[in-house]
Amino acid sequence: MPSPSQVALQNNYHSLFASDHHQEDQQAAPICSNMAFSNFTSATTTFPSSSSSLTFQSAHNRNITSGPTSLSLPNTDLSPSSPLFVAAETLISCSSCATAAPFNESNINLTGPTHMLSLHPERTFSASANNFWAWSELNQRPLSNDKLIRSDNIGTIVRDSDHSHQQPPILNSNNKLLGVSAMKVKRIKGRRKVREPRFCFKTLSDVDVLDDGYKWRKYGQKVVKNTQYPRSYYRCTQDNCRVKKRVERLDEDPRMVITTYEGRHAHSPSRDTDQSRAATNPHLNDYFW
DNA sequence: CGTGTTTGACCCGCGC
DNA sequence: GCGCGGGTCAAACACG
């Protein structure tokens, strides 16, 4: 019996990143004959036609629930020129060919610096080893991480510290979708300290805290200025693991939950969760972080 | 009693 | 230097 949060995840999960800026380098990998996926660097997603729509399904939907519950994104959200980010465990299906498949290394051919979003080190789609954070090499527009966070209150994806010399990509102009930003730096007693990498995603969910396989302890809640919904702060309960996450609802669409992870887990997801997940669907871990 | 949440106070970076 | 505001702390509380 899945927990309420798991049910919500099964029913509603989709993870999506996109931004408005156009880039010239195009790299699309077909999943079915009339559907393609592009990574952030290519910044161009190909659709069968201007009137078609894409449907995102989670692996959980497909394998656990009796019928697929999915979210059809309106065409206005995904213009052919918008880059598209999909979490590694997300299934993508095409409205016109009725097929769905999880993104993975075998059915998608990705090249370039970074593509899909996953917190799982073994599921790195990046060309740079062990960097499983989404980032872009192409965008040179200077914008600090702080400004990005404060301008939209959504959160950011932050590059791996190994690449902190590069300039951050940008959110789109509508604050509707997400982008990638630079490392934020914090100092301890005058010494420069590198901030942990960040990764955030937007999820359609009834519950605020999604079951991501890790155990979290809430350590704070804050009402952020000019926002309707409070932001909650969580820390991983594992000893010696300093991963944190923030959870907040989107003002413009309260159905959406913005989850921002900071840091990398130094351990596997909690065993209990893994077992319950594996019992329900033996292939689920193939798609999960 | 152990574990997790709540919440007001505090810290600190940033902009002016 | 000062004020603002996001992030964190920690005591009190809730719950199994």
Mark the nucleotides of strand B covered by protein, meaning any atom under 7 Å from a CB. 4-9, 13-15
Query: CA–C1' span, A220 to C7, in Å?
Result: 9
Q: Which residue is nearest to nucleotide B13 (CA to C1')?
A: A186
Angstrom distance, A236 CA to B16 C1': 37
- Helix spans in chain A (H): 4-12, 59-63, 145-152, 271-280, 284-287
Helix (H, G, I), strand (E, B) or coil at A145: helix
What is the tens place of the pLDDT at every residue in A151-180?
Answer: 222 222 322 233 333 323 322 223 222 333
User: What pLDDT does A258 receive?
Assistant: 76
CA-to-C1' span, A257 to B6 (A): 21
Q: What are phi and psi of A49, to 5 degrees?
A: -160, 170
Q: Phi and psi for A57 in degrees, rounded to 5?
A: -130, 145
User: Are A84 and A16 contacting, i.e. CB atoms less than 8 angstroms apart?
Assistant: yes
| Side-chain half-sphere exposure of A94, counting CA atoms within 13 A | 15
- Nucleotide closest in space to A233 (CA vs C1'): C7
Span A216-250, pLDDT tens digits: 999 999 998 888 899 999 998 887 788 888 888 88
In the chain, the amino acid numbered A211 is D
In whole angstroms, C2 C1' to A225 CA is: 20
